[in-house]
Amino acid sequence: MLAIRSGTLCASVLVLALLGACDAPPPGMPAPEAAATNSPDCVTLAEGLYEFNDGQFLAVSAATLALSGASGWEGEMQTAFTGAGFPWMGLKVRDRVATLIGTAPSADAKAAALSVGEAAIAAHPEAGRAGLIVVDAISVEGGERGVGESLALLADTGASLESCQRAFTDTMAGRNVTFESGNARISPVSARLLDAVTGVATLCSQFVVEIGGHTDSRGADDYNLELSQARADAVRAYLVSKGVSEDALLSVGYGETAPLNPAPTPEAYDQNRRTEFKVIAR
């Protein structure tokens, strides 16, 4: 473990956590004063790579470090975006998540910028090896917000149980994972939404995420329970295929047992047929 006294590190420094404890400094380091061992300022970190930013320790992966540092990576991409005619588009990189940000003047401009941004990231020699998840957080001026907007905010603020749950909730607000009728095959139109969800799960890897599948009240109870479980399993499989650890994800089918709106109307059916994400401490 690595014991860090508050105030000893500045923002944006990378820390390699070593084995040990607050009262057992790394080899070659002087022993801390006795009073420091039990100090509330003594922070114990699990072994791994961290970035100390704005008073918080944020876990990062070796893949992130392989990108020659976030500032260099983002700067290269910004130059490419500007050269392609999209100076309003930017990039945030955290762990394996690359979030395209900015406000597009029109929906057509956004679509063109996303295409350019994704192609530029894919063509970067180091980014390809890092296996980045590219997420759309671009808004349209006077129109829709980017599906990854909450993910971009999470990348700035850091991951706590509360901020992770808020990111999932805000990402899904007014949106839903779409499946083919009567089965658990995910529609391609949900790819960008699920990529944003994958990004949140990646940044919140210190927690477990429950994927809850819900159906409306039409059909037999047993069938709805089975269908909701299959759909939750399908979402879990999508996130795992994008690199989220299997042991960080639970899939639970609730069938029709937890409706948001019990009314027998098309509007209620749409509300009740949903996928939810719940963040749980390990």
Same domain for 76 and 176?
A: no
Residue 29 included in any domain: yes
Q: Count up the domains in the chain and report the number.
A: 3
158-164 contacts: CB < 8 A, separation 24 or more? 158/53, 158/54, 158/56, 158/58, 159/58, 159/203, 159/204, 159/206, 159/207, 161/207, 161/279, 161/281, 164/200, 164/203, 164/204, 164/207, 164/279
Residue 192 included in any domain: yes
Query: Which of the four pLDDT bands, split at 50, 70 and 90, describes residue 126?
Result: confident
Least confident interval from 121-130, 144-153, 165-174: 121-130
In this prediction, residue 72 carries a pLDDT of 66
Residue 173 has pLDDT above 80, yes or no: yes
More confidently predicted of 155 and 65 = 155
Say if residue 282 is exposed, middle or buried (CB neighbours under 10 Å; 0-12, 13-18, 19+): exposed
Question: Of 60, 81, 109, which closes a domain?
Answer: 60
Residue 165 included in any domain: yes
For 178-194, write each residue's pLDDT tens digit. Answer: 999 889 999 999 999 99
Residue 151 included in any domain: no
For 264-274, write each residue's pLDDT tens digit. Answer: 999 999 999 99
Residues 6+ apart with CB under 8 A from 174: none
In this prediction, residue 76 carries a pLDDT of 82
Same domain for 189 and 272?
A: yes
Residue 36 has pLDDT above 80, yes or no: no
Residue 11 has pLDDT above 80, yes or no: no
Query: Which of the four pLDDT bands, split at 50, 70 and 90, describes residue 1?
Result: very low
**What CATH number is given to the structural domain containing 245?**
3.30.1330.60
Q: How many CB atoms lie within 10 A of CB 96?
A: 22
For residues 10-25, one letter each, b for 16 or more C-beta atoms within 10 angstroms of the residue's C-beta and e for the rest, the string is: eeeeebebeebebeeb
* Segments forming the whole domain that contains residue 90: 70-146
Same domain for 90 and 181?
A: no
Say if residue 180 is exposed, middle or buried (CB neighbours under 10 Å; 0-12, 13-18, 19+): exposed
In this prediction, residue 212 carries a pLDDT of 98
Same domain for 263 and 204?
A: yes
Same domain for 105 and 203?
A: no
Question: Of 146, 174, 194, which closes a domain?
Answer: 146
Same domain for 85 and 49?
A: no
Residue 63 has pLDDT above 60, yes or no: no
**Residues 247 and 239 sit within 8 Å (Cβ to Cβ):** no
Same domain for 203 and 113?
A: no
Residue 222 included in any domain: yes
Task: Please state, for a pLDDT cut of 90, what percent of the chain lies above it.
Answer: 63
DSSP one-letter code for 188: G
Residue 104 included in any domain: yes
Average pLDDT over residues 135-158: 94
Residue 77 included in any domain: yes
Residue 112 has pLDDT above 60, yes or no: yes
Residue 257 included in any domain: yes
